[in-house]
Amino acid sequence: MKKVLIFNLLFFAACATEDTTTTTVQDTTTTTVQDITTTTVPDTTTTTVPDTTTTTVPDTTTTTVQEVLSPFLDDKIIRVFPASDLPQQTVDLTVQYTNEAYDLWMANDYYGKSQAKAIYVMITGSDMEAGKNANLAYCNHLTVIGFPSADWCRLDTYKDYVNNGGGGVNSSAVDGFYFMVMAPQDNEIDNGYKTMTYHEVFHIYQLSNIFTTEYDDVDEYMGKRSGDNGEDVAWWSEGNADFFSALYTYDLEGFKNEMRWALEGGPWPVDRKTQFFQDGIKLYNISWSSGQGVDLGYRIGNWFTAYLVHNHGEESVYTLWNTVNQKGFDQTFIDVYGKDHRTYINEFETWLQQPNDELLKILDNIYNSKVKK
């Protein structure tokens, strides 16, 4: 059975269900995006993609890509599969935020640029039937293009997203596409939704730098196998996505408020930082199997990324991602930062014990020195 990589923001969830479907693929281009195809999903029942999908894949693309053994059979950058219960403004803003984040991290040349395409964005609302139809339209598109993953495409991904809201990347670079789900439940389109969209696109940037054909190897390159327990851990991939999405979606005061919340908020009777030190688990050992505790991997991992950026600059993180495919996570971390991640995290955890107001002092310079425009 194929392994699927799923990256979900902790303060939301993802997925939904129903019958009947429609899979009309229109070539309508939404907002200011180069190559966006919006796949509208009416409430009629259809299970095949009509011939209106004239611009999905040029005839020359499949042959050319197969000759170089690339899994990327679809050269369009972004295709959208929105549920029919969503207002057009919600769809347009989701596309706008996705493009803004794409332009920040993937518009210019970088190691994985050739893989920064075939991004499939399913957007669900609060209606189960509409979510089911959008899900089916996405799976049918995989079949039309000819992706092997079409054989095991999940028709129920929408269920949790409709029920709980949230965002996630539910695929791997090995698949030859990126399946990103956004779920603005109750049409809550605030700055937090923008941040969540940037978070998920940053995961696509991370994955696009990994060229392995083995699903398990993707976890290693992502830094998810960097703990002592053999389980997938969150501190690096999720901490990065949390940090950079906050850095680029808020003004300075909003950024500092988000970073303070990462230390002082949380679902426990005490604040996150206190809970982290009370638990006594090393940051690199906090896994998804720890349940609610993985929240600390995201938020304290966010602060570890800030600490690295403070010491080495923002470009250092991009350098690691742009070269991680060559030597793997552990060695690349040493090459970029001069010491292994366990040693660096030990130093960080000592630094983190300072009063929060002292920690926050590093954020002004980080914000004012942003390298992406």
pLDDT tens digits, 42-82: 443 333 333 333 333 334 333 333 333 557 789 999 999 99
Q: Which of 249, 230, 222 lies closest to 333 in space, CA to CA?
A: 222
What number is the average pLDDT over the span 204-230? Answer: 93
By the 10 Å C-beta count (0-12 exposed, 13-18 middle, 19+ buried), 256 is classed as middle
Q: Decide if 373 is inside a domain.
A: no
Same-domain check for residues 127 and 271: no
Domain end position, chosen among 198, 218, 238: 218
Same-domain check for residues 145 and 271: no
Same-domain check for residues 170 and 243: no
Radius of gyration of the chain (CA): 20
Single pTM value for the model: 0.84
Same-domain check for residues 194 and 261: no
In the block, tokens 């170089």 appear at: 68
pLDDT tens, position by position, 281-332: 999 999 999 999 999 999 999 999 999 999 999 999 999 999 999 999 999 9
Same-domain check for residues 68 and 205: yes
Domain end position, chosen among 218, 234, 258: 218
Same-domain check for residues 197 and 286: no
Task: Count how many domains the chain has.
Answer: 2
In the block, tokens 């409430």 appear at: 43
In the block, tokens 């389980």 appear at: 231
pLDDT tens, position by position, 27-43: 333 333 334 555 544 44
How many beta carbons lie within 10 A of that of residue 280, not counting itself? 6
- Beta-carbon contacts of residue 189 (< 8 Å; ≥ 6 apart): 89, 90, 93
Is residue 369 over pLDDT 70?
yes
Same-domain check for residues 112 and 135: yes
Domain end position, chosen among 218, 248, 272: 218
Q: What is the pLDDT of residue 235?
A: 98
Same-domain check for residues 136 and 239: no
Q: What is the pLDDT of residue 45?
A: 38
What number is the average pLDDT over the span 212-222? Answer: 91
Same-domain check for residues 138 and 31: yes
Q: Which domain holds residue 56?
A: 7-218
